[in-house]
Each structure stands twice: as structure tokens, then as C-alpha cells.
Structure 1
Amino acid sequence: MNLSQAQTGNTHVVYFETGQFDVPQIETNRLVLFIQSLKDVEIERIAIYGFCDDRGSDLYNLELSQNRADAIKKIFSGFGVDDNLISNVDGKGEVLLRVISSDNLNIIRGLNRKVEINVVYKITEPEVVVKEKEEYRFLKKKLAVGDKITLDNILFKTGYSYIVKESIPVLEMMADALRERDDIYFTIEGHVCCTKNARDAVDRKTGKRNLSLARAKYIYDYLVKNGVKRTRMRYVGLKNKYPLGKATKYDKRVEIKITSISKRN
């Protein structure tokens, strides 16, 4: 039994000085007011994302943005916010320069030295019964070459190329479905969000900027290990060309694209 929840929320942004992760006093005051506004709200989760401007190396920006996110989390904890509500405290490194009506690069950069705080409120709705086992829909669906299937319930830990443990049973069902649907040939497409110029993100496990490719390969390797023939599939990383929405606690970042369908006997 799961709860179906209608969710709304609120967002707050904290800005930083160049190269700093100490929260300026005026920003601290604004943040305290924001935290106090949440005391009468039932919260589903809080996500804290740190960012930098376009200066500095990838490693430096990733570390600085993480320090900024950690600084904000410390303030939340200091005001008694339950740590279990904070689903993400992630440094995203360099962020896309915001498009605003200004030619002043310093102003634009200043808007990207920030931490974004996303608060999702929880509204409990009537219970919904969910089947424990369910075949993937594409097993019964009529497919055509070029169709794309988003793997909605296969979720990656933000910034990493491995899935969360809750998604393992789903991936097992997907492998079962693809073994049965052996007429399908496909490409596994990996994605990321929130990077500059549609480039790839850094895989925090390896430090390499190939996160979308590593995610696609993770699914590919699992399917091979579980009996799906290599000759039926390939994998690619599409970087930030076609992101599948904003990052949350976990990333939904893989699609399957049908490349050919053979006649079944």
C-alpha cells in the first residue's frame, strides 16, 4: 500500500560572494525568515543544491558548490529542521549562466553563485493499492522504430551512475520483459541535467565527466548479465542535450529507443 500524494512546494535562493561558502549575513537573515515560514507546513522533502559561476576548474567548482550546500544544511539543522526531511545536499558545480537582460558578466555570474532550496509540501490523499508485480507496459504495447520508453521507476542516486536499491526489483522485471520481447532491438540512452552547454556531468564515484554514458552502461551491463543478448542493444550518453526534468532526491535519467523490430515466429 502506498500513499498517493498531491505535492506543492516553495523555493528559496541564497547568494554567495566570489569563491566563498560562508553565508553572508543578509542572506542568513533571509534564510531564517524562510525556515520560520515552514514551521506550520507538513514537509515531504527538502533538497539543497549548490552552484558556482563559470570560473574555476571542474573539481574546484564541484567542491565549492558542495561546501555552499553543506553550509545551508547546517543552518537548517541549527533551527531544528529534521535531517531526515533533507533528501539532497548536493553541489552541482558550474551552472548554466542565467539568461537575463544584462550585458554585465559580473551581474550574471553573481546570480549563479548560489544555493537553491526546494521544499516539497505533502498532502495526503486516499490510499492506492499498487500491484507488487507488473509487466513492463511495452511488453504488451505495439511498438514502432523510433519509439522511446522512459524508465520511470529506475532511479539513480543524484550525481552517481548506479541505481538505488529500491529500483533493483524494477530493473529485474525490465530484464524479464526484454528477454521475452526478443524481437526488440534498442539503444539505451543516458541523460543528465544542470550542466553548461549541454555537456556531461561528473560521475562522483569516478571523478570522470561521463555520467550520462556511465548510467546507460550500468543498465546495459545489468541486462547483459541477466540474459539480454548484447547484439540486441547498444548504449550512448546524451549528456545534457535532452534532460528528463530537474534533479530531485533521485534522478530518472535513462530511456530506451527502439532501433528495429524483427518479425516474431
Structure 2
Amino acid sequence: MKITLALILFSFYTVNAQQKPVETIYFEFDKYDLTEKQISVVSNFIKNIDTSKVESIQIYGYCDDRGNDEYNFRLSNNRANTIQNLLVKKGFNQSKIVILEGKGRVVVKTDTVENLYETRLRNRRVDLIVVKKNSFGKGVYTSFKDNLKVGDKIYLESILFDIGSAKLTSNSKKELDKIALILQKHRSLNFEIRGHVCCTPEIYSDGIDRDTKERRLSWNRAKTVFHYLISKKVSKSRMTYIGCGNRYPLGKGDNYDRRVEFVITKI
């Protein structure tokens, strides 16, 4: 691949279980400014995307493996900021950019990589992760509605947690009080409570609960909701709970990943 083509490459592919489209912009070595051709590509991206269907965008910057960590974190942040500034300048709504982060250098084992030059070329980049509205799939709802089916998921934005905490906020308790009343009216409804976390390194599957010091934060969040509903006269025989760790980010920002969901298991 010629370097002139690689520098303006704008690729499309999908990642993880949510099938989130990723647009990638590649940078020259040790640079965070853009050429005119790269600016044109970003402009075309904005023209071609239906912003009314975009829930959010996450921007992540990267560097190749050369240089020290401090310098590369700064460079990767500058690359991410360059793309954000261009998007906003071209008319993209900045409020939809929920994550802006430099990830630093992508470490590779130079003695095991078949084509080190092209590998480093691909690692000097910014990824734009585009999350479309209602992209969570069929059977995902934001309230306990009528005519639910086994397997349906209910995600409630009012039931969120503070960083590192499994304690319920006052708003979460108010929402759970409403849910308890609904569940008391629909006594045949059984469900699983699933806890989630944000902001944990990829090498870990769960976060640390700052109260218990255990790396079981998602489990503890689900367990907290389980016991709160029991205190509101919801039979524990109708409920189970599990921790899902950091495996299922919503793509709406870290705040929304500190959550629980309800999965219907029996009607």
C-alpha cells in the first residue's frame, strides 16, 4: 500500500457485539494535523451520515509503539482533539460527542510482526465510533411496557450508579419504587437483573467496588437492586441476578454504562 493512500484511508468495519460502525483516520508519523485530502474525507463523512439517526460518537486517538508513554498519550489526545475540532467546525453537534480520549501507543512485539511498517501505519490513527439511535436491537425497551416477551430487555436511564459504587442513588430508588409497583401488579413476570460497569482496563472483566474492595462491582450493583426490590415486597423467587462486567457498553458515555438492566425470563 502506498503511503499517500494510507494517510487518507478512511475505513469502515464493525466491532463487538453491538455492531458499532467505526470510521478510522490515519496520521503521519509524529503528526496530529491533517492534510487537505484528509479534511476532505472527514467532510464527506459528515455529508454522508444522517445525523438525525446518530445517538452519539466516541473519538479515540492512538499512536504507534515508538516513543515514551507520556509523549504518546499527549500526541494521541491531540489527534483525537483535531478530529473533534474539525467535526464541530464542519457543523457536527458537539453534544453528540460523548467520549474524547487519547489511548496512547499501541504496543507491538516488533520481532513477531510480519510487516512492522504497515502495522505502525495502521496504529497512527483516530477511531470514530458511531452509535445509531435505537441500535440496541429488537426487544430492548426503556420502560416496563405491556406485551413483554421472554428475552426482552429493559434498560432504564434513571437507574445509574456513581463511579466505583454499588449504592443506589436517590433517583435510582425512586425509579425502583415505581418498578416495584408495576411488578406487584404483574406477579407472573420473572426476570434477571444484570449489572454493568464502565471505565475498566480491557485486561479486567469487572470493576472494583470501592466499599468492599472486590473486583465484583457489576455483581454488587445487580445484587443491590435485587435486595432493594425484595424490601419492596417483590418475591425473590421471581428474580435472579448476575454481573456482566464491562462487556456490554451502550456507547452513550461512561455514565450510562454504570447501570443495571432487566431481562424477562418468564411471563
- The structure showing larger relative contact order (alpha-carbon pairs under 8 Å, at least 6 residues apart) is 1
TM-score by length of 2: 0.49
